[in-house]
Structure 1
Amino acid sequence: MTALSDSTSYAQSSTFAGMAGTWSGPGTVTLDDGSSERIRCRATYKVIGASMDMNLTCASDAYRFNLHAAVVAAGGEVTGTWSETSRNVGGSIQGHGAGGSFQIIAQAAGFSSSISLKTTGNKQAIAMRADSQFRAANILLSK
């Protein structure tokens, strides 16, 4: 039982461990008309204790989004706010995760997106799904 308690304590204290810094890499975005485009992305994470600020910019020749999020982790739960500056929309974030692996829901009036983020070493995979003009994005980043 002690090992479980120790690992739980470690997971909570290192919720955003290994995420700080600048990441970049390719991805794809799928729109509501079914079209899909390759995108290039750059993410910057600033981690201070149980708080993290994220800026994610992705672009192709015809599509661009700028996502900012500010989150706080407590007891395996993640809460915060997000905004997408190129479309002037924002809202709340709720979810759970630890150790670089997260399952999040980002919501705003008339919009909801599920986000899965998994960090392993210097690699990160982000998958977003929504029911709007923006349907999905799959992004692979490296440090």
Structure 2
Amino acid sequence: MTAVLMTALATTTPSHAQSSTFAGMAGTWSGPGTVTLDDGSSERIRCRSIYKVIGASMEMALTCASDAYRFNLQAAVVSAGGEVSGTWSETSRNIGGTIQGRGAGGSFQVIAQAAGFAANISLKTTGNKQQIALRADSVFRAANISLSK
């Protein structure tokens, strides 16, 4: 479910993306990861993310799957003065909520919340590499994802 917080769709204009808080994130990313469940079991997953950036806004769509596990996360966020806020949804589990946190220079720390669910998300983009770490308080405990452009 925390992975849900990472998916978002948007539209990118390269000139705007370069001057934005989300500069360098626009485009399609993919790579491996792991998901850890409440019972302590973990599975390898493959992920694909699409980021669309327009000025201070970003939409993202993240899909991760293994043979037995899948999540589809979408998010739409806006940055102002170092603060990031927006909404998220995870379509395969029909859950969604709000995102709030801080971010700049390709590094973001946010909290995604919904009724009965909260997750801490850390996202770091450096060049064509991106690291996503999710920690939650539900059946879905954690995800660690490494993406490349």
User: TM-score under structure 2 normalisation?
Assistant: 0.87
Unaligned runs of 5+ in 2: 1-18
- Counterpart for residue 7 of structure 2: none
2:123 to 117, 128, 131: 117
Cα distance between partner residues in 2 of 1:101 and 1:14: 13
Structure 1 residue runs of 4 or more that deviate by more than 3 Å after TM superposition:
none
Unaligned runs of 5+ in 1: 1-12
Write the letter of the residue equivalent to 2:29. W
Write the letter of the residue equivalent to 1:16. F
Identity %: 86
Aligned residues: 131
**Contact kept in structure 2, 1:14 and 1:99, CA below 8 Å:** no
- Counterpart for residue 142 of structure 1: 148
Structure 2 residue 73 is the aligned partner of structure 1 residue 75: no
1:99 to 95, 99, 105: 105
Q: How far does residue 100 in structure 1 lie from its aligned partner after superposition?
A: 1.1
Cα distance between partner residues in 1 of 2:36 and 2:119: 13
Structure 2 residue 92 is the aligned partner of structure 1 residue 86: yes
Deviations 1:25-50 (A, max 9, x none): 00000000100000000000000000
Aligned-residue CA RMSD (Å): 0.6
SS of 2:22's partner is: coil
Cα distance between partner residues in 1 of 2:31 and 2:110: 21
Answer 1 or 2: higher relative contact order, Cα 8 Å, separation at least 6: 2
Structure 2 residue 39 is the aligned partner of structure 1 residue 38: no
User: TM-score under structure 1 normalisation?
Assistant: 0.91
